């Protein structure tokens, strides 16, 4: 194996940013290490916004060049998405490799994607990102070599590049369309069953998949890695009352999630749209939990999901230092602590969600008729020879029972 690539991390921050320069670069370092590269130095600058021509100001850029030389680094990773001009100017000024946060995240996605859909979506995002950079960066992109930012769909000269990328994009979109159609059919089947759908949402590495496993025994991939989950899994489980429900695990969020990725992963993120209730998993062990939770709320808003009912759970309570105040619904997806309380909260949400159902209930189904009258809101009732034709707003679990 070749020696890991070495990078200086560079970031531009405003004074009143949600998260400090240190914490932000700490996350960028984790992302960098996820790719097997090493962060060997940091440089930060306080500016209201990145310099339009070369990201950092002139003086800082010179400092960066020295730091790269001193640390014998391969280049720099910038903590924001760069424009074509910023790329070009920085590469010229530094004579070293320049990479931005988006390329790093795209690369992690490319390495972690497993399902046909995840792979196609990641490729779509990479190609779209490249297309948007081709105008100014043809030469740099065609450069051969290994390491971060050079993997993924290859390309040759500028013009043929564009044409080939467009063709590839069209075929990828077609494939993704087919996969989405398939998914819609499955979803339709689920909806008819009338079960409440819960979807996990949260910052990457918060413990969504671990919680999925705890509640459903799904065997989802849960490891200490950023973006371990890139697809969507849905499993059935039982609420304490015995009512059936569904739980969906999906891709995590991160600060400055590249918009190409959001677009490419729209079908995956679409799953969140079909959820009745979102379970926002926050990571108590993170020193920047509040900032992460805010990113999750903002991303949900951006996806048009701001209005959905949300249960917020504070996960990894087993790692919490004693004496800290209680945040709310605290759980440990790892040890199972708080599981019952969470299930009860889920049950309560499910109960609030009612569905309009019309069904014929036979007279001998006395218990069901009783439950419908007690827990449902009857719209109309017609007594027939073979039973009662009822139209009622019912809680999801009861709606599922009636539909059986």
Ligand X SMILES: Nc1nc2c(ncn2[C@@H]2O[C@H](COP(=O)(O)OP(=O)(O)OP(=O)(O)O)[C@@H](O)[C@H]2O)c(=O)[nH]1
CA 290 distance to own-chain centroid: 17
Give the span between the Cα atoms of 226 and 105, in whole angstroms.
9
Q: Pattern 188-227, binding to Mg ion, x per CB under 5 A?
A: --------------------xx------------------
**Interacting partner of 28 out of ligand X, Mg ion, none (Cβ under 5 to 8 A depending on kind):** none
Q: Does 229 bind Mg ion (CB under 5 A)?
A: yes
Give whichever of 228 and 300 is closer to ligand X, judged by the CB atom: 228
Nearer to ligand X, 73 or 228 (CB): 228
89 vs 332, beta carbon nearer ligand X: 332
- Give 226 or 400: the residue with its C-beta nearer to ligand X: 226
Q: What is the DSSP letter of 242?
A: S
| Sequence-separated (6 or more) residues with CB below 8 Å from residue 352 | 309, 395
228 contacts 209 by C-beta, under 8 angstroms: yes
Q: DSSP letter string over 204-229?
A: TTSSHHHHHHHHH-------SSTT--
Question: What's the rounded Cα separation, in Å, for the pair 284 and 367?
Answer: 44
Nearest residue (CB) to ligand X, 86 versus 204: 204
Residue nearest to Mg ion (CB): 229
Complex with Mg ion: residue 89 or 229, whichever CB lies closer = 229
- 359: nearest Cα among 342, 376, 344: 376
Going residue by residue from 143 to 182, which x/- string records binding to ligand X, judged by CB under 6 A?
----------------------------------------
For 266-319, give the DSSP string: HHHHHHHHT-SEEEEEEETT-TTHHHHHHHHHHHHHHTT-TTS-EEEEEE-GGG
Helix-helix angle 396-403:366-375, to 10 degrees: 150
Taking CB under 6 A as the criterion, the residue among 255, 280, 316, 355 binding ligand X is: 316
Min dist. Cβ of residue 254 to ligand X (A): 8
The verdict on 223 binding ligand X (CB under 6 A) reads: yes
Query: Which residue do the tokens 């081709």 mark?
Result: 134
Interface mask toward ligand X for 318-337; x: CB under 6 A: xx------------xxx---
228 vs 317, beta carbon nearer Mg ion: 228
**According to the binding rule CB under 5 A, does residue 86 interact with Mg ion?**
no
227 binds ligand X (CB under 6 A): yes
Work out the angle between the directed axes of helices 116-142 and 84-94 (0-180°, nearest 10): 50
Q: Is 231 in the site for ligand X (CB under 6 A)?
A: no
Distance CA 201, CA 343 (A): 16
CB of 30 to ligand X, least distance (A): 11
Nearer Cβ to ligand X (128/250): 250
Q: Give the C-alpha separation, 53 to 56, whole Å.
A: 8
Judged by the rule CB under 6 A, the positions of this chain that interact with ligand X are: 202, 204-210, 222-229, 252, 315-316, 318-319, 332-334
Judged by the rule CB under 5 A, the positions of this chain that interact with Mg ion are: 208-209, 228-229
């Amino acid at each position: 194996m070749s020696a890991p690539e070495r990078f200086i991390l560079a970031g531009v921050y405003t004074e009143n940013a949600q998260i400090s320069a240190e914490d932000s670069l700490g996350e960028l370092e984790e992302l960098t290490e996820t790719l097997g590269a090493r962060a060997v130095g940091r440089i930060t600058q306080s500016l209201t916004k990145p310099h339009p021509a070369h990201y950092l100001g002139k003086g800082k850029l010179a400092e960066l060049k020295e730091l790269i030389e001193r640390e014998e680094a391969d280049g720099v990773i910038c903590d924001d998405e760069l424009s074509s001009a910023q790329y070009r100017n920085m590469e010229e000024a530094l004579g070293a490799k320049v990479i931005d946060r988006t390329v790093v995240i795209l690369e992690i996605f490319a390495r972690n994607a497993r399902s046909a859909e995840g792979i196609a979506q990641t490729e779509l995002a990479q190609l779209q990102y490249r297309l948007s950079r081709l105008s100014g960066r043809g030469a740099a992109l065609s450069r051969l070599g290994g390491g971060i930012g050079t993997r993924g769909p290859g390309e040759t000269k500028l013009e043929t590049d564009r044409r080939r990328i467009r063709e590839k994009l069209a075929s990828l979109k077609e494939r993704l369309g087919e996969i989405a159609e398939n998914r819609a059919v499955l979803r339709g089947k689920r909806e008819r069953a009338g079960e409440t759908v819960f979807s996990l949402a949260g910052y990457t590495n918060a413990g969504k998949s671990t919680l999925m496993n705890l509640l459903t025994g799904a065997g989802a991939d849960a490891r200490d890695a950023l973006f371990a989950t890139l697809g969507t899994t849905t499993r059935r489980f039982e609420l304490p009352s015995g009512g059936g429900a569904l739980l969906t695990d999906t891709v995590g969020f991160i600060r400055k999630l590249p918009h190409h990725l959001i677009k490419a992963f729209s079908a995956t993120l679409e799953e969140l749209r079909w959820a009745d209730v979102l379970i926002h998993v926050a990571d108590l062990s993170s020193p920047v939990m509040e900032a992460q939770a805010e990113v999750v709320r903002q991303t949900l808003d951006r996806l048009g999901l701001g209005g959905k009912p949300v249960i917020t759970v504070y996960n990894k309570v087993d790692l919490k230092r004693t004496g800290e105040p209680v945040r709310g619904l605290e759980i440990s997806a790892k040890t199972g602590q708080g599981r019952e309380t969470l299930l009860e909260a889920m049950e309560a949400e499910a109960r609030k969600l009612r569905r309009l159902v019309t069904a014929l209930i036979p007279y001998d189904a006395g218990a069901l008729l009783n439950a419908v009258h007690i827990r449902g809101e009857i719209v109309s009732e017609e007594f027939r020879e073979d039973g009662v034709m009822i139209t009622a707003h019912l809680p999801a679990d009861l709606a599922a029972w009636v539909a059986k």
